[in-house]
Every structure is written in structure tokens, then in C-alpha cells.
Amino acid sequence: MKESFALIGPGRVGQAVARLLVEAGYPLLALVSRDETRARQAARFAGCPQAASTDLQRATAARLIMLAVPDDQLRPLAARLHRLGLQPGTLLIHFSGFHPADILLTDAEQQLQALAIHPLQTFADAVMGTHNLPGSPCSVEGSPEALSRGEELVEALGGIPFRLRGEQKALYHAAACVLSNNLVANTRAACEIFAACGFEREQAFELLKPLLSGTLRSLTTLGPDLALTGPLSRGDIQTVTAHLDALAKLPDDLQQIYRVLGRKAVQIGLERGSLDKKTAGMLSRLLAPPD
């Protein structure tokens, strides 16, 4: 018999997790939102309409209580749950990649356990999350005696569990953000630069999309060192100089992005041998922050 669960915060991650766990046969006792309509919609999405609730107390009956709320709300929400009273043996779970699991525990309460399960995946909305999570690595960190329960849950979600220690989380999470969030921001920057030569930003994105998916295909197949192409990887100094001149007319952040990531590309080119030391040095000086 699978353990019952409650989920608080039916946002992007919460709804996807609730639906996947219900599909895996975990009984959903309560899906708690601060708003009645959202609770009903989310419970329907999870396939368990009777679980909809705005009453936090209902969550305390479950063996597994999942807090899928913004990171800054984890500690205050956990404190509210402790005040309501939790049964011994309850396992509290959050999904932040940064905070350690014990943010959910109080010193006074020794009989509870906590886990942080972080899907190394992006959830732009609940539906995308439901499709993206299966097959994704998920870190599991927290009370040692609860780690295997966390791994079981990850497997029920279709994820691939791996263990992480609390002190690793800041850099681990920063890496995930540099990859996913900065890729999105970088794509937006590319659209702005493209639009500046006379296109609508939406049209620029449509035209850039095949380049984005082609880059991701070679990146995931070959890895970052071999996937790099372009003037920086070839040492085309005149082209890079012309880019910087053109970018100088645009908002400063766009040129800064070009310079910072360009220096990383030069490092790759040098390390894999497509750039010699002299050319790499000239490019690095060209891309250095302007005085």
C-alpha cells in the first residue's frame, strides 16, 4: 500500500508532481491552495477532485506532506504546519534545489523527517512539467533514514534519483540556473539583437528557433567542448570586432553578455585546440570589459 500524500501549493511543480504521483497509485488526501477555484482546478488536473482544499489542517493527516511553494515561503509554511500538529513519522518534503531539507524541521520536533527532492528540470507550466519530469535526474537530500523513501518517490515520478549533501546545494543549484535560466535569458538577448536590425522580436524568435534546437541537439550529442562553432571558435577577429562595433549602439547589457560568454567560448577554443594561444589572447583582449 502506497503512503498517502498531501500537496500544498498547486503551482507549476506542485500540480505536475501531484498528477504523476496519483498516476503512480499514491492516494492524494489533500491538495491545498489559498484559493478555492485554484484548488479545484489543480485537484481535477491531478485526477483527484475530492482532494481540493483551502484548509491547511487537512494536509496534516497525510504520511507525506509536500510543500511546493516559493522557496522563501518554506520556513513560514512549515512553522504553520508544526503549530497545527503533525503525527510522528510524518515526512515533510520540499522541491527547492537550494534549501536543505531541514529548513522544514524545528529543534523541538525530533520525531519528524524531512527531504528535499529537486527535479533537475524546468517546469514552465504544469503540463510541460508532467511531460519533462519523467526521465529527469532528481536530487534527494535530507534525513538519512528517509533517503530511500525519497528515492522510491522519485522513481514513482519517473525520475532518476541521485543523492546530494546539504553543503553541495548552493553550487549545484547555481549550475542548474546558469544552464536553464541563463539559456532563456540568452535567447531573449539574441532576439533583441536580431530585432535591432529591423525585425519584430517574435519574428526574430521564429527565425532563430531552428538554430536553437540544432544547437541543443549538437550540444546534447557532442557536449559543450565539441559543439562550439562560430567566429570565436575559428578565430575570426575581424568578424568579432564588427560585432562589438554594432552592439555598441544597443543597450549595454547586450554587449556585456556577448563579451562575458565570448570569453568562455575563447577558453573552450583554446582548450580544444581550435584557437592558438596568440589568437586566443587577441580575442580575450578584444572581449575584455571596456574601460
Ligand X SMILES: NC(=O)c1ccc[n+]([C@@H]2O[C@H](COP(=O)([O-])OP(=O)(O)OC[C@H]3O[C@@H](n4cnc5c(N)ncnc54)[C@H](OP(=O)(O)O)[C@@H]3O)[C@@H](O)[C@H]2O)c1
Chain positions contacting ligand X, by CB under 6 A: 9-14, 33-35, 38, 68-71, 73, 77, 94-97, 118-119, 122-123
- Shortest distance, CB of residue 105 to ligand X, whole angstroms? 16
Among residues 97 and 235, whose Cβ is nearest to ligand X?
97
Instruction: Tell me the three state secondary structure of residue 286.
Output: helix
Instruction: Tell me the three state secondary structure of residue 114.
Output: strand
CB-count burial class (<10 Å; 0-12, 13-18, 19+) for 31: buried
- Shortest distance, CB of residue 178 to ligand X, whole angstroms? 14
Among residues 32 and 112, whose Cβ is nearest to ligand X?
32
Among residues 119 and 142, whose Cβ is nearest to ligand X?
119
Cα(144)–Cα(100) distance, integer angstroms? 13
Q: Which residue is nearest to ligand X (CB)?
A: 11
Distance, first Cα to last Cα, the chain:
66
Among residues 34 and 264, whose Cβ is nearest to ligand X?
34
Name the nearest CA neighbour of 257 among 193, 204, 179, 195: 193
Among residues 94 and 243, whose Cβ is nearest to ligand X?
94
Among residues 92 and 280, whose Cβ is nearest to ligand X?
92
47 sits in the region (left: phi over 0; alpha: psi -120 to 50; else beta) called: left
- Shortest distance, CB of residue 67 to ligand X, whole angstroms? 8
Among residues 7 and 191, whose Cβ is nearest to ligand X?
7
- Shortest distance, CB of residue 147 to ligand X, whole angstroms? 18
CB-count burial class (<10 Å; 0-12, 13-18, 19+) for 146: buried
- Shortest distance, CB of residue 211 to ligand X, whole angstroms? 24
Query: What backbone torsions phi and psi does residue 6 show, to the nearest 5 degrees?
Result: -125, 145
Beta strand spans in 159-226 (E): 160-163
159 sits in the region (left: phi over 0; alpha: psi -120 to 50; else beta) called: beta
- Shortest distance, CB of residue 118 to ligand X, whole angstroms? 6
- Shortest distance, CB of residue 62 to ligand X, whole angstroms? 17
